[in-house]
Structure 1
Amino acid sequence: RNQHKPNPPLEDIAPHIHRYWKQRKDDKAILRLLNEYHIDKTIYGLGLTRFRQIRESLGLYRTRSQHHNINSIRPALFRLRAQYPKAGAREIVSLLFHEENMSVSRNMVTEYFSVFEPELVKERRKNRLRRKRFWAAGVNDIWAVDQHDKWKYKFGLALHTGIDPFIGFTHWLKIWWTNSNPRLVLSYYLDEVEEQGYGPLVSQSDPGTENFGLANGHTLIRHFHDPSL
């Protein structure tokens, strides 16, 4: 039993806890991964209660434990708005978590918008159904990528897809437990480029943080092939 074994050294497991935390895994999932891949169970033991104590000692608190309100998140929102002026509720929740180490519910962000950014809310609603013209020069001019979250919260299925909209070709359609990990999203793109032997001139996605890796990777590849860009 775990109570008869010492806990693993904190310096051995802390990096893995931080990594899985940033992947938005819950406590049971993190503990399972630690015990499966990072802890020698013949020597050490770690249970859920002790794990939660260790997590909190590292400054990693869940949403309820952080006790945020619309006023406490306001300074962070000021900083984020300077760089992401058009980010919506879902993107702001992700940005707060990854860039400000704040765990906040989407409902709270929506409430913040209604109190402090009513004009932006009206602007988003006004432009939501605005008709626009899409243009692409030809095949592989653009690869458009996007994620679908409606199954994510109900069934635990996170969808991600990449298509060539000019011909309607689906380059990938992936289903996993997450679609918000920038490294994972980048891997979808790189795997397809490697398999096809080519990539697009332009990658198109929303400004969410999950797409930063893909955007940076695509830019690096384009600069490698054309340093004048």
Structure 2
Amino acid sequence: MPNPTGRNGIRLRAPDDAIIRPLVEKYVAAGYKNPKIVAKLKDHYNIEHFNVSLSLLKKKRMQWKVKSARGQDHTVHSIGPAIERVRSHFPYQGSHDMKDTLLQEEHLLVSCYFWTAGVNKVWCFDQHDKWRRFQLFLHVALEPFSGQVLWLKIWWTNWNPRLICGWYCDTVERLGEMPLLTQSDPGSENNGIANGQTLLRHLHDPALARTLQHTFKGSHRNIKPEIFWSQLRRRWAPGFEHLLNIGLDEGFYNPDDPLQRLCFHFIFIPWLQSELDLFTDRFNHTTPRHNINKILPHGRPTNIFTNPEGFESCNFAVKIQGNYLEQVQETYAPPDHGVFNLVPPEFAIYAEEFMSSIGDPTVTNNNVWEIYNNLLEHLSTLLDNGDLQSIIAGQPALPEEGFLGSDFMPVVDMPQYRHMQTNGSQGDKDREEEVVLSSDDDESEFEFIWTSSESGSGSA
């Protein structure tokens, strides 16, 4: 029988090491697995005369000691000095540039892991605009150590800093505590949270005055929420997106029509919010798939969030005192602001009267478009009413970018707070090392962060 590794029964020999070793090192550094490396090597030698099998590649890598990131088995301490050297030259590098620099200049091959000190050290926020064509916008807040979803909101805008700060204040009030820091993308819609968190921390600890208690992460560096959005779109969104598209495809709903848009928001947003609440509860009470590369605790997010001590961690939250939260709300998220209204109050009166007349039916995916069409038909017959006409006429036309409800708020002009004091243990244990060396989810890679500072701690 002919030798399957050769031509006409003749075994092919391997290319010279001088040819393939640099290529193997390059592909290993780029993260390719052995089967992919074997395939890519064929582009660099004559396959009629040479061959590199999978078993040969493994043997060669052992001889050359060309190890993967996992094989190099680096720790925070082993790569720490190298990271400090790179950081001194490139203080704002993200994960990919940092990994490339470590490989090129320090000859270190590093994976990516996410690590943070404990529960409530930081809260992360992000917006999601994939449903802009429906004039629906989402926003999420996560506690990254536990993976707990703090809120998952759908509204007719996510560009208003007062709205986002209002959700933050509601959550702080519900929990009775706030994080040490908050974190988001640089978008101005997050300035409300940045200002609110900063003021609230200052009121509780005047020593923090003149420091911003929020960090802004550049593009694709606020990774935890981005991974959550990928999970939501895969696990929850498809069926609802299909249902929403029916309205556009069948001509039931035109977002450019103010009356249709108000009817749509009145019916769909509360229903979709209830569905998102169910998903959030399920997400928080479900143990993620086990990942041997994850260095944060494994378990149900809600268990880790509510009982960090049971997972050999601690709670860095700061307990809310006095009426400080009310001061923040009045300053940055006044409850009577129009952005908190689902629809204009005058319109809500007409819509609620109709819903009451038909028995306030429970909205489901089976009847949601029927209820919407009935409401739209009823209100269309009332357009001769002067009050309703004025309500509709007062609705803004959709801007070209498709976002309503934006309201610019400048962020307070303060330097970011870098060195947080601790009430914890003494000596080296007081020092905090924060390293992002790989994702706890195979959807994406995390940023690379290295800090060496005093560990932050609030009263638990």
- TM-score under structure 2 normalisation? 0.25
- TM-score under structure 1 normalisation? 0.45
Larger Rg: 2
Higher relative contact order (CA 8 A, sep 6+): 2
